[in-house]
Amino acid sequence: MHRVWQFFTHVTARVSDAETAVARSILPPETWPLFAGMPVADRRHGLDVATRLRADGWDDPDLLAAALLHDAAKGQRLRLWHRVGGVVLEAFAPRLLARLASPDRWSWRFPWHLYLHHAELSAEVALAAGASERTAAFIRGTAAEPDRPAAAALHLADEAT
C-alpha cells in the first residue's frame, strides 16, 4: 500500500509558493538552483522529508538541506516508469536490475544506474552545487558517528514519505 501511495503522490505532486519559501530559507543560496531545477515530484518529496524531520524535532541545517536534496541526481532521466520498474525489479529480480544498470550517462541503461546509486550521485551533485560535505554525507548515508542518529532519522523520514 505504501508504494501505491508513493505513486499517487508522485503523479499529483504540487509545491506551493509558501513551501518554496521554506525550502529557500533552509538551503544555502548556492544550492537553491539545484533544488529549484528538480522535478516537482522530487521537490515535493524532499519537502515532505524535511517536514517530517522538523516535526520529529530535528532542526540541523545540514540535515534539512540533505532532506531537500537527497534525490537531486534523479532529475529528468529517471522517469516514473523507471521508478516503478526499479521497485518491481528490486523486489523480484535484483540481479536483473543490477545487470541493466550502466554508469554510461549516454546509455539507455543509465536510469537504472541512477535508480540504484542515486544517493551517491545526489551527494556528488549537491557538493558540486555548493552543499557542505556534511550534507553530502547525510545524503550518501555515510555520516560520521556523532551524526548517525540524525542520518537514521533522515532515512526513516525518507522511507515513510
**Contact (CB, 8 A) for 157 and 53:** yes
Specify the pLDDT at position 83.
83
- Positive/negative CA dihedral, 137, 139, 143, 147: positive
Amino acid identity of 79? Answer: R
Domain that holds residue 59: 2-160
pLDDT digits (tens, 9 = 90+) for 116-127: 999 999 999 999
The number of distinct structural domains making up the chain is 1
SS3 (DSSP) at 104: coil
pLDDT at 23: 98
- What the block records as the C-alpha cell of 159 is 522511507
Low-confidence ranges of the chain (pLDDT < 70): 1-13
Pair 49, 155: CB distance under 8 Å: no
